[in-house]
Amino acid sequence: MPSPAKSPDIVCIGEPLFELNQAKGDVVFRPGHGGDTSNCAIAAARQGASVGYVTAIGTDNFGQSFLDLWKQEGVDTSAVKRDGTAPTGIYFVTHGPEGHVFSYRRAGSAASRMTPEELPGDYIRGAKVIHTSGISQAISSQAADFVFAAMRAAKEAGKLVSYDTNLRLRLWPIDRARAVIHAAAGLADILKTSSDDAFELTGEKDADKIADFYLGLGPKIVIVTMGPDGALVATAEKRMVIPAIRVKPVDATGAGDTFDGAFLTEYLRSADPFAAARYANAAAGLATEGYGAVAPMPTRNAVEAALAERR
């Protein structure tokens, strides 16, 4: 990895994916950008946070488009590696009766080749919080080890670790996913899961039982998102369901990632997980009102206006 500059407050770790998104009824795939932790970084930057990204990209045009995007969005790229021997991953989004459907072309991507020996340790230890996910670990066994090394480095430095389960069973079998994700949960301070993910991972459908399960693994804050039913936020002392705001959704791509970025930004500002989740729920809701992962992500002004108007 390159020698990065001074660390931003939030450092996200994972794989960016160039996006080709086909709107309902359309025959054209529109270009865009995705990848859950890249989305999180951009969402946080749009809320005014200081954010950086740790990843590897190809020297192809897709990789260059990400560098251009991150620069435009104010995401620090000093810890981004360019790999001339591997491609940047891509994915396609189509929309069917059950919602959006993902098709990936990411095998052997530059990000999947990252190894623990390449970890920019000082950059990780200098952040206030690092954020990563199950997808970041699912893309290869060495990427999983890279993420574990980053989480341990942050923990040893006394920094916060945020983790989103983001289960993708097309990427790995459920038994391996459970083992890795739950080991990662044990290193996390903040864990977000969805009710759908958690059912696959724990067998529980009840949000309170899901929260109990993950609090038992070690995180201080557990968030269970429940789509239009809002999000349960739980700590050892308190729990609360944060209702969703009224929206007119057309595409949920990137909504959970927007939640992550908005939550971390607000949590660093307020140290109040319930206020941060209320803010993040609004941001995630707004992100469903347009197509693609990045384009509809709201700015801080839009989120604050929605919180004031859409109660």
Tell me which residues are annotated as active site: 257
Select from 89, 70, 83 the least CA-distant residue to 8.
70
| Distance, CA of 42 to CA of 297 (rounded, Å) | 8
d(CA 279, CA 16): 25
State the residue for tokens 């389960």.
165
Q: Closest Cα to residue 114, out of 89, 144, 87?
A: 144
Residue 233 in contact with residue 242, Cβ under 8 Å? yes
Q: Cite the DSSP H helix spans in the chain.
A: 36-46, 61-73, 121-125, 134-138, 141-156, 174-185, 195-202, 207-215, 255-270, 273-287, 300-309
Residue 47 CA neighbour count, 13 Å, CB half: 31
**Which residues lie below 8 Å from residue 61, measured CB to CB, with a gap of 6+?**
none
Q: Are 125 and 115 in contact (CB under 8 A)?
A: no
CB 231 within 8 A of CB 223: yes
Amino acid at 64: Q
Check if the beta carbon of residue 93 is closer than 8 Å to that of residue 102: yes
Find, among 106, 97, 166, the residue nearest to 131 by Cα.
166
Instruction: Give the count of alpha carbons within 13 A of 86, CB side only.
Output: 19
DSSP annotation of 116: G
**Which tokens sit at 152?**
């341990």
Q: Is 96 exposed, middle or buried (0-12, 13-18, 19+ CB in 10 A)?
A: exposed
